[in-house]
DNA sequence: AACTCATCATACTGGACAGTCTAGTTTGAT
DNA sequence: ATCAAACTAGACTGTCCAGTATGATGAGTT
């Protein structure tokens, strides 16, 4: 029984099929990109007939859009709704960077990132969705922390927040996505330590 | 006969055609991506018949590869063979970051970057070419400068070099490519100032 | 003049694929 | 048991496009 009638959107059989399709679509789109993905392949990966996809989503663009929204929102809740950033700066920043780098190393996340960049010209709304939800919020949280710690003597918390997360994102971009790992290896650990040092050690002066 | 009159590869009529094709290809590939580019369109943009393209390049992949090599090498020579990084740290780093950010803001450069990332899975050699020539060398130059300035007290010059350039690259990525500009504006100037402050002000201590 | 080579314009071939259609099957509520 | 909605399998259409083929033009060489 289903609570008399008001079927919840998130466990009705319809929503289950929709989710099943999205799961298949995630596999294919994130591994082969938008152009490299055929609807037949999505259907096969989702274990669903092609017609069913078209009864749940308007077309390929609609499916892709829904997919990115789905993954982005999911990530947001899981990864940013975690801690509220308190603690001794050196230790906290180190932990934060480590967790951040580790989570973003997940292939599915890297693939989402690559596809978002690849299709940012064709789907600017999706790129903006990502900017608004993930990047902007992350920056806000981190800059709030910097503001709450005047002993760090950070004059521009937003800019500093960008530098912090941007260094880590571009690290993954260079090392993983552009295969820099095989050209000039650089340990993530080293970047994190240097980054924390740049931010924390300035408070030694004065 | 061909060695009798040693036509220079770079100004013979053949090479001119090749260059003409590449110029057309740059326009189309960098603006529409690999999949979004048809050979007919390249031919039209280059003002050349399709057959001519196929007599200069093996196929679409070959043309794309040649294009990326061409642009990457060109860029490298123009943008990295510039200064040798000497001068007072605060002023020099500020200037360097400003020039760097300004040059990378060029749409053609951003498009190359986007396409490289988009196709990094399909063309890993090209991504590595970029890593090897541009990223790696840039990092080497900058870390050499840090090493030559012990008063900056940088314990890990390579990591610091990555943080410096990575912050700026990810800034463009977030603000321009992912349209963050329209979501949460952040002046490049602010990032540069904060970045320089993080690196330089530490030398006040001790 | 005869030959060669690069080029051009255009037509063609074959394959991939988005999206539709048809016809038959399952499921679940009443 | 009946009915409608959701689903499946697979054929089909129209389009796009990489790559090839054809046949003609023009320039330089011998």
- Please, are residues A143 and A152 in contact by the beta-carbon 8 Å criterion? no
Q: How many CB atoms lie within 10 A of CB B176?
A: 18
Q: Is residue B144 part of a domain?
A: yes
Do the chains contact at A201 and B197, CB–CB below 8 Å?
A: no
Whether residue B72 is found in the same domain as residue B100: yes
Which pLDDT value is given to residue A77? 82
Q: Which range has the worst mean pLDDT, A17-31, A191-205, B165-179?
A: A191-205
Q: Which of residues 27-56 of B touch strand D (CB under 7 A)?
A: 36-40, 50-51, 54
Whether residue A179 is found in the same domain as residue A108: yes
- Please, are residues B144 and A168 in contact by the beta-carbon 8 Å criterion? no
A64: buried, middle or exposed (CB in 10 Å: 19+, 13-18, 0-12)?
buried
Q: How many CB atoms lie within 10 A of CB A2?
A: 10
- Please, are residues B175 and A163 in contact by the beta-carbon 8 Å criterion? no
- Pick from B71, B56, B46: nearest CA to B12: B56
Whether residue B35 is found in the same domain as residue B100: no
Q: Is residue B5 part of a domain?
A: no
- Please, are residues A68 and A112 in contact by the beta-carbon 8 Å criterion? yes
| Residue range A80-90, pLDDT digits in tens | 666 667 789 99
Structural domains of chain B, count: 2
Residue B16 predicted with pLDDT over 80: yes
Determine which of B117, B140, B168, B175 to mutate to test the interface with A (most A C-beta atoms within 10 Å). B117
Residue A7 predicted with pLDDT over 60: no
- Mean model confidence pLDDT for chain A: 91
Residue A93 predicted with pLDDT over 90: yes
Tokens of B145: 């400068």
Whether residue A187 is found in the same domain as residue A101: yes
Which pLDDT value is given to residue B6? 42
Q: Is residue B4 part of a domain?
A: no
Q: Is residue B118 part of a domain?
A: yes
Q: Read off the pLDDT of each residue in A119-140 and give the average, rounded to a whole number.
A: 96
Tokens of B132: 């090897």
Whether residue B182 is found in the same domain as residue B140: yes
The H-assigned helical ranges of B80-119 are 89-104, 107-118
- Helices A39-46 and A13-32: crossing angle in degrees, nearest 10, is 120
DSSP string, B135-181: IIHHHHHHHHHHHT-GGG--S-HHHHHHHHHHHHHHHHIIIIIT-GG
Residue A71 to residues A18, A77, A130, B16: CA-CA distances in angstroms? 14, 10, 10, 48
* Distance (Å, whole) CA B206 – CA B194: 21
Whether residue B100 is found in the same domain as residue B152: yes
- Mean model confidence pLDDT for chain B: 91
Which pLDDT value is given to residue B7? 40
State the CATH number of the domain containing residue B42. 1.10.10.60
For residue A30, what are the domain limits?
7-57
Which pLDDT value is given to residue A6? 40
Q: At a CB cut-off of 8 Å and minimum separation 6, what does A5 contact?
A: none
Whether residue A194 is found in the same domain as residue A120: yes
Whether residue B73 is found in the same domain as residue B52: no
Q: Which of residues 109-148 of B touch strand D (CB under 7 A)?
A: none
Question: Chain A: nearest CA to B162, how far in angstroms?
Answer: 7
State the CATH number of the domain containing residue B188. 1.10.357
């Amino acid at each position: 029984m289903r609570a008399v009638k008001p079927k919840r959107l998130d466990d009705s059989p319809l929503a289950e099929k929709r989710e099943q399709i999205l799961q298949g679509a995630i596999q294919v789109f994130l591994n082969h990109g938008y152009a490299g993905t055929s609807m037949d392949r999505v259907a096969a990966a989702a274990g669903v007939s092609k017609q069913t996809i078209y009864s749940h989503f308007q077309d390929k663009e609609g499916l892709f859009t829904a997919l990115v929204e789905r993954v982005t929102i999911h990530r947001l809740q899981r990864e940013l709704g975690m801690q509220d950033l308190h603690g001794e700066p050196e230790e906290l920043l180190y932990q934060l960077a480590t967790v951040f780098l580790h989570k973003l190393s997940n292939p599915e996340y890297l693939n989402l990132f690559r596809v978002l960049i690849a299709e940012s010209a064709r789907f600017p709304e999706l790129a903006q969705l990502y900017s608004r939800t993930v990047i902007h919020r992350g920056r806000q949280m981190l800059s709030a922390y910097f503001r709450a710690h005047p002993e760090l003597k950070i004059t521009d918390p937003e800019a500093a927040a960008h530098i912090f997360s941007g260094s880590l994102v571009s690290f993954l971009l260079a090392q993983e996505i552009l295969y820099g790992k095989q050209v000039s290896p650089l340990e993530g650990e080293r970047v994190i330590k240097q980054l924390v040092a740049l931010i924390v050690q300035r408070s030694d002066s004065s």
